[in-house]
Amino acid sequence: MNEDVTPERWSRIKALFAAAVEAPASERSELLVREAQGDSALIAEVQSLLAAHDQPGDLLDCVPAELKAQALAVADDNSRVGERIGAYRIVGVLGAGGMGHVFKAVRDDDQYRAEVAIKVMRADVSGPLAEQRFKTERQILASLDHRNIARMLDGGRTGGGSPYVVMELVSGDPIDRFSDAHSLKVRERVQLFLQVCAAVSYAHQHLVIHRDLKPNNILVTADGSVRLLDFGIAKLLDANAADGATVDETVTQLRAMTLDYASPEQVSGGAVTTVSDVYSLGVVLYRLLTGQSPYGARTNDAQRVAEILSDTAPTRPSLVRTNDRQRQRGIDADLDNILLMALRKEPQRRYSSVEQFANDLRNYLGGLPVQA
Residues with a catalytic annotation lie at 212
Amino acid identity at 148: N
Q: Return d(Cα 276, Cα 292) in angstroms, integer.
A: 20
Rounded-to-integer distance, Cα 115 and Cα 355, Å: 33
Instruction: Round to whole Å and give the CA distance between 117 and 279.
Output: 29
Overall residue count recorded for the chain in this entry: 372
- DSSP β-ladder status, 113-121 and 250-251: unpaired
Integer CA distances (angstroms), 44 to 2, 12, 27, 41, in order: 10, 13, 16, 5
The residues facing 220 across adjacent strands are: 173, 226
Cα atoms found within 13 Å of the Cα of residue 311, Cβ hemisphere only:
6
Question: Would you say 19 and 35 are in contact if contact means Cβ atoms under 8 Å apart?
Answer: yes
**Burial class, 70, CB count within 10 angstroms (exposed 0-12 / middle 13-18 / buried 19+):** buried
Terminal Cα distance for the chain, rounded:
54
- CA–CA dist 124, 13 (Å, integer): 9
Cα 71 from Cα 288, distance rounded (Å)? 35
d(CA 345, CA 62): 29
Compute CA distances 54 → 25, 48, 121, 301, whole Å: 12, 10, 23, 9
| Dist CA 191 CA 178 (whole Å) | 13
Q: How far is Cα 175 from Cα 134, in angstroms, rounded to an integer?
A: 26
